[in-house]
Structure formats: structure tokens, C-alpha cells
């Protein structure tokens, strides 16, 4: 029996208000008796920590970096959506809701998405009150821009550093609560285990990354805001420390993992330059508004771009999609670039890149017009690649960017483990099979500022919770498990480095569970991952000791979890015998290579339950998705 998603009754527009009223309240004098653990300090974690502390709860906040301000939300460039309709161009809460559901290819929950659109406006108000320096018009009003092909201008931004400014806003609120003594900060800590007592989430085991000490912390509720799992691919636009461990450890303790195969691959990233590459850098996709994507028509043509005459170039997006050309959606652009490279037509040193050429745009509009639009991006490109995109075409290649899948949560953002809440990218709830641009920041802050403070309170007020201390046997047991695991990693003493295994796992997933998938490849990948996992535990080498700052050990633990999680992703992709959003199974596509959904059989959330060991198939659960307010349609760009 699938757990209830707890979606409130009544009309869509009234659900959240009604729910807010129905949730029990904690007496103000009692709030300080409740302790809440928040793991992660990105937009969701920092905003939730601050907001809960403001309400009077005692909050313990953990982060992996040396300061909460460094979480990877900081790297988001483009902006944050809200349904303010300041430009008077026809936006509304309903339109933002509809665009998000449709953009997600109808694989998200209506009620959650509607709530997201509703609270989006409060987020902008809150950030401005904190002093976030959003871009302004000359009259002093907030500026908006259109982003990611949206038909309305609903995106608020702070130069190309919107994520940074929003995170610093949430961080400042968090620092204020820390100064008031309501939040205790635990930086340089990594959560290694979730602790359950009496069937409820009651604490965590965290490793102090400086001393190596395993610390146990008890609380009345645990909130995970630990981000996405894109680094399972080794190369992604995620920060180096981003990992799945906290979420995966919770999965192993009974939290269902939903739609793990939904991963977003962004088409315009700076290509891989060599085997030692550690991460990928995103370039704003606005570049495709003026750049033309092409490859040499003949495979293996190694001439420099200027020596390839027009007739021997293949503008493959313009050729295959005459009406949308270079502006086809992210997933289509990405898949086609990979296809060209697989055919041997890729360019650059590695052959894993396509050109994005501004020559025609510069000829048409003049260099200064292009400079005004894209100057900072061109500069960034030149800094990294040492090539001048005004003179020679840019090279781009797709890269893993965001993960829509995550721990399953109900309308209250509570997982299948009572007392364990999951916020932001770590949960699965709002983006379906594909996320729209400028929606990740919106969701992280919605969850942290405006949803969790209500729903966590409702849980605490409505649940009798006995007092639990870290002397409880469940804590001792969880700590012993974490210690044993660390010991095992150090004890293998093999010959291959952690990164070497990670790179191999990444290339398996990229090849078989990346932009397009097929059943034979997925089945093969599953075997390969199992085999790689076995080799990891026989041949990995982790230098150093457990009781010290040991970055190799940190990475080893994360990669060990990725090696189990990667198989779960592949299983999910195999189980979903349709294509939708970013999940393209080659057997299910329209004539234009667009994802062909199967709403009859797959209009559901796939939620996986750990079966006790990674070598046993996880148990599949289905949450049917019911659409009462939107009509399911097929995306098309004819």
C-alpha cells in the first residue's frame, strides 16, 4: 500500500490555505522544547534553518563546507521565477503553475506545483526585504526578463549571480539566528547515517571532517536539504562535494527514492578538455538565441573551422528542426549534439564538442550588439578556453546539470520515514521529468521559507514524541555502522584511486543512462555497475586514517554510495517504458525524436524502497498522478 501523499481536498487554489489552517500549531512557549536538525545550507537548508529558528525552535544546522555560504546554490546564474506579473504581460499564479507542470512533461503533482507558484511571490518580497540587490529599472522598480523560452517575463535576477545573492540573503538570516543562539552551526560535517528511533527520524550520525570523529545528534525532526545527485556522472556542473550520501543513507533506512532516472542535461557547457577534467562549467543557454550550432558534414574532418566552407558544414539543428532551429528545448539540443559526436563529427581535441558560431550574428548585428548581450559570457569562455569567441566559434557540449528525482515526499515534504523531511533539489516533488530554467531557486526557497516552517510544526504538534538521547541504542548502532563502513573503506588497500572508480562509473552512466537510453544498454549498464562495485570493494585505495582530515576517505564514502545509487537510477530508467521530459527511451519517440509519453501506463511517480541489500531488487511503488486542472498534451515544436 502506497503511503498517502496527504494532498488536501478542495479546489486547487484553496488547498494550501486550507491545509495551513488544518495543520496543528505548536504552542509558542513549547517551540523551544523542540530540536530540529537541518542538513545542508543551500537555499532550502539555510532558509528553513533561519525560518524555523525565528519561530522559536532550536535548530542544529550541518554543512559539508567550511561555511554555510558556500553551498552550491551559490553557482546558479540565470534567475528566479515568480508570478508577480510586474511587466503586465499576462502572467499569473495559474500560468506559472501550468508552465511548470507542462515543462515537467506532466510527471509532477498538481497540488505541489500550484503551491510553489503561489508562494513564489512571497519569496521575492522576502529577498528584497533582506537586501538582495536584484536588478532594477531606471525608475527604481524590479527588472524582469524572459528566460528559457518562457512567453512572459517573470524572472528576477542579480546580474549572472542570482543564486549567490539569494543564498547570501538566506545565509545572512541564518547568521542572525546563529548570533541569537537559536541555531547551532556544525560546519565541515558530513552526515553518514540517519538515526531512527521508534520508527521515526530522530537524529543523525555526522563525521567531523577535521577530526574524523563520528558525532551523534538527536532531534525531534530531521530535514534533509542536501541537493541533487548529478555527480553520480562524475562530470557535471555540480560542485565537487555534491553527493547522494545523505539521501541514499535515508533511502537505506526506509525513505522511498522517487524517479531517480530523471536527470537534466544542459546543452551549452564548456566541453571536456581532457581525462583529468574535474568538473564542467555551464554557459547560459541564452547564447543559442544568436549562435548557430554546427559540425563538419564529413566525419573525421579535422580542419580548423574557418577552413571548412559553408557547403561542408552541417547546421544539424536547423536542418532537422527547421521551425525551431537552434532554439529547440534543452533535451533535444543535448541529444542531437551527442548523436553528431557519436557519428565522428565532433570537433575540438577530444571530438566531444560542437560549434556554436556567432559569425553570422556579428555580421548581421555588429560586434558591439553581440558584446552588449553576451560580453560577460564571452569573457568567461575566453578565460577558461583561451579562445576568442568573437573570432572563432565557441565549442560546447552537454553536461549533467540538475536532478529532478529525489527522495519521495508527501504534500508536507515528509518522506516515507516519519519525521524525515526533504527540501529543495533533494526531493522529487515539483519539476516532474524536466525542470524549467529559473525554477530551482524558486523551489528551494519555497520549501525552506514557506512550506517546511508550517508542515514541520504540524508534524511536531500532532505527534507524540518521547524524549530520545544519543545514548539510545539506535544511535550507538548507527554510529557503529558508520564506523564499520569507514573502516572497510580504509581496509581494502587496493591499487586504484577513488576518482578512478568514480570516473568509470560516470562514463557508464553517461553512455547508457544519459541523454538517450535503450533497454539493452540499460541492462548492460546494470551489470557493469554491479561488477564495478564489486571491484571497488576489492581494489580501491584510500590513503590516510579515519581520525584526521582525509579528503580521499570523504570521496570514497560518497563514491561507494554512488555505486549503489547508480544501479537504482538504471533500474528506474528500465522500469519506465516510456519517454518523458529528460528521460528518452529510444523505443518511445515521436517522428520528430520528441519524447513519447505513455499516460495510460506511466502517469505515475516511481518510488523505490530499499530491499535490505543493494544486490536485491528494490521494491517498486507507484503513486498515480491525477490531473484535474490541466489537460495532458504532447510537447511539439513544429
Partner 1 sequence: MSGTLTLTLKVWRQKGPEAKGKLATYTAADISPDMSFLEMLDVVNERLTVEGKEPIAFDHDCREGICGMCGAVVNGRAHGPEKGTTLCQLHMRHFSDGDTIVVEPWRARAFREIKDLVVDRSALDRIIQAGGYVSVNTGGVPDANTVPIPAGTAEEAMDAAACIGCGACVASCPNASAMLFTAAKVSHLALLPQGRPEAARRALAMVSRMDELGFGGCTNERECEAECPKEISITHIARLNREYLKAGFFSPERKP
Quick check: 257 and 251 in contact, CB under 8 A? yes
Closer to partner 1 by CB, 243 or 585: give it.
Answer: 243
The answer to whether 330 is a known catalytic residue is: yes
The minimum distance between CB 68 and partner 1, in angstroms, equals 8
Report if residue 361 touches partner 1, rule: CB under 8 A. Answer: no
Closer to partner 1 by CB, 124 or 356: give it.
Answer: 124
How far apart (Å, rounded) are the C-alpha atoms in residues 142 and 125? 11
Query: Which 3 state secondary structure label does DSSP give 69?
Result: helix
Report if residue 21 touches partner 1, rule: CB under 8 A. Answer: no
Quick check: 497 and 541 in contact, CB under 8 A? yes
Sites for partner 1 among residues 176-195 (CB under 8 A): 176, 178-179, 185, 187
Q: Residue 381: enclosing H or E segment and its boundaries?
A: helix 367-385
Q: Which of 207, 330, 533, 597 is catalytic?
A: 330
- Candidates 258, 198, 527, 290; CA nearest to 413 is 258
Closer to partner 1 by CB, 84 or 288: give it.
Answer: 84
Sites for partner 1 among residues 417-456 (CB under 8 A): 449-450, 453
Closer to partner 1 by CB, 166 or 205: give it.
Answer: 166
Sites for partner 1 among residues 213-232 (CB under 8 A): none
Neighbours of 637 (CB within 10 A): 14
The minimum distance between CB 548 and partner 1, in angstroms, equals 8
How far apart (Å, rounded) are the C-alpha atoms in residues 396 and 280? 11
Residue among 41, 51, 434, 585 that touches partner 1 (CB under 8 A) = 51
Quick check: 630 and 110 in contact, CB under 8 A? yes
Residue among 158, 347, 362, 422 that touches partner 1 (CB under 8 A) = 158
Sites for partner 1 among residues 301-360 (CB under 8 A): 349
SS (H, E, C) 97-123: HHHHHHHCCCCCCHHHHHHHHHHHHHH
Quick check: 73 and 42 in contact, CB under 8 A? yes
Report if residue 27 touches partner 1, rule: CB under 8 A. Answer: no
Closer to partner 1 by CB, 384 or 484: give it.
Answer: 384
Sites for partner 1 among residues 387-416 (CB under 8 A): none
Residue among 14, 17, 22, 66 that touches partner 1 (CB under 8 A) = 66
Residue among 343, 369, 384, 480 that touches partner 1 (CB under 8 A) = 384
Read off the C-alpha cell for 452. 517546511
Grid cell 500549531 — which residue?
25
Sites for partner 1 among residues 276-305 (CB under 8 A): 276-279, 281
Closer to partner 1 by CB, 71 or 295: give it.
Answer: 71
Residue among 13, 35, 54, 371 that touches partner 1 (CB under 8 A) = 54
Grid cell 547522494 — which residue?
244
Grid cell 541555531 — which residue?
183
Quick check: 542 and 425 in contact, CB under 8 A? no
The minimum distance between CB 273 and partner 1, in angstroms, equals 5
How far apart (Å, rounded) are the C-alpha atoms in residues 515 and 264? 8
The residues carrying an active-site annotation are 330
Amino acid at each position: 500500500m502506497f503511503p498517502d501523499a496527504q494532498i488536501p481536498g478542495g479546489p486547487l487554489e484553496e488547498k494550501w490555505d486550507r491545509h495551513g489552517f488544518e495543520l496543528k500549531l505548536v504552542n509558542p512557549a513549547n517551540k523551544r522544547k523542540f530540536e530540529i536538525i537541518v542538513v545542508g545550507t543551500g537555499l532550502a537548508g539555510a532558509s528553513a534553518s533561519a525560518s524555523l529558528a525565528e519561530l522559536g525552535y532550536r535548530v542544529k544546522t550541518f554543512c559539508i563546507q567550511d561555511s554555510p555560504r558556500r553551498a552550491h546554490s551559490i553557482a546558479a546564474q540565470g534567475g528566479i521565477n515568480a508570478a508577480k506579473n510586474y511587466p503586465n504581460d499576462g502572467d499569473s499564479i495559474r500560468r506559472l503553475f501550468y508552465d511548470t507542470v507542462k515543462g515537467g512533461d506532466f510527471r509532477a503533482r498538481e497540488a505541489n506545483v500550484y503551491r510553489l507558484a503561489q508562494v513564489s511571490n512571497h519569496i521575492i518580497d522576502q529577498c528584497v526585504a533582506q537586501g538582495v540587490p536584484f536588478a532594477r529599472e531606471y525608475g527604481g522598480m524590479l527588472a524582469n526578463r524572459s528566460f528559457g523560452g518562457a512567453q512572459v517575463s517573470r524572472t528576477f535576477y542579480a546580474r549572472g549571480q542570482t543564486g549567490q545573492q539569494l543564498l547570501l540573503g538566506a545565509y545572512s538570516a541564518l547568521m542572525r539566528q546563529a548570533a541569537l543562539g537559536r541555531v547551532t552551526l556544525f560546519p565541515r560535517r558530513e552526515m553518514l547515517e540517519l538515526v531512527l528511533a521508534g520508527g521515526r527520524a530522530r537524529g543523525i550520525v555526522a563525521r567531523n571532517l577535521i577530526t574524523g570523529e563520528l558525532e551523534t545528534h538527536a532531534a525531534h525532526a530531521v530535514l534533509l536539504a542536501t541537493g541533487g545527485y548529478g555527480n553520480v556522472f562524475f562530470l557535471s556542473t555540480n560542485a565537487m562535494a555534491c553527493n547522494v550520501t545523505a539521501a541514499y543513507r535515508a533511502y537505506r533506512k526506509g525513505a522511498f527514492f522517487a524517479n531517480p532516472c530523471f536527470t537534466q542535461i544542459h546543452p551549452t557547457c564548456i566541453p571536456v578538455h581532457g581525462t583529468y577534467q574535474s568538473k564542467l562549467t555551464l554557459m547560459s543557454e541564452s547564447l543559442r538565441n544568436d549562435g548557430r550550432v554546427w559540425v563538419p558534414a564529413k566525419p573525421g574532418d579535422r580542419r580548423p573551422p574557418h577552413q571548412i566552407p559553408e557547403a561542408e558544414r552541417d547546421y544539424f539543428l536547423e536542418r532537422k528542426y527547421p521551425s525551431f532551429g537552434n532554439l529547440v528545448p534543452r533535451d533535444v539540443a543535448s541529444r542531437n549534439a551527442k548523436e553528431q559526436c557519436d557519428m565522428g563529427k565532433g570537433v575540438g581535441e577530444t571530438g566531444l564538442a560542437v560549434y556554436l558560431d556567432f559569425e553570422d550574428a556579428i555580421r548581421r548585428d555588429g560586434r558591439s550588439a553581440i558584446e552588449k548581450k553576451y560580453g560577460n559570457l564571452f569573457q568567461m569562455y575566453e578565460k577558461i578556453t583561451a579562445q576568442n569567441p568573437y573570432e572563432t566559434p565557441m565549442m560546447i557540449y552537454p553536461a549533467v546539470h540538475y536532478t529532478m528525482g529525489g527522495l519521495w515526499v508527501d504534500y508536507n515534504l515528509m518522506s516515507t520515514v516519519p519525521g524525515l523531511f526533504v527540501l529543495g533539489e533533494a526531493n522529487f516533488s515539483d519539476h516532474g521529468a524536466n525542470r524549467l530554467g529559473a525554477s530551482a531557486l524558486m523551489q528551494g526557497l519555497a520549501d525552506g521559507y514557506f512550506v517546511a516552517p508550517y508542515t514541520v510544526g504540524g508534524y511536531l504538534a500532532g505527534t507524540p514524541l518521547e524524549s530520545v538521547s544519543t545514548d539510545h541504542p539506535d544511535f550507538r548502532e548507527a554510529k557503529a555502522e558508520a564506523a564499520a563502513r569507514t573502516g572497510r573503506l580504509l581496509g581494502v588497500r587496493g591499487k586504484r584511486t577513488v576518482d578512478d572508480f568514480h570516473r568509470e562509473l560516470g562514463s557508464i552512466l553517461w553512455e547508457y543512462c544519459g541523454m538517450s537510453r535503450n533497454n539493452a544498454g540499460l541492462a548492460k549498464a546494470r551489470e557493469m555497475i554491479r561488477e564495478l562495485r564489486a571491484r571497488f570493494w576489492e581494489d580501491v585505495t584510500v590513503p590516510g586514517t579515519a581520525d584526521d582530515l582525509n579528503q580521499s576517505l570523504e570521496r570514497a564514502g560518497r563514491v561507494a554510495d554512488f555505486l549503489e545509487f547508480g544501479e537504482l537510477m538504471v533500474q528506474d530508467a528500465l522500469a519506465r517504458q516510456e519517454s518523458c521530459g529528460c528521460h528518452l527511451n529510444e523505443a518511445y519517440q515521436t517522428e520528430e525524436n520528441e519524447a513519447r509519453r505513455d499516460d495510460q501506463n506511466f502517469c505515475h511517480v516511481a518510488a523505490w524502497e530499499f530491499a535490505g541489500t543493494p544486490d536485491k531488487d528494490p521494491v517498486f511503488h507507484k503513486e498515480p498522478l491525477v490531473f484535474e486542472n490541466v489537460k495532458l498534451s504532447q510537447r511539439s515544436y513544429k
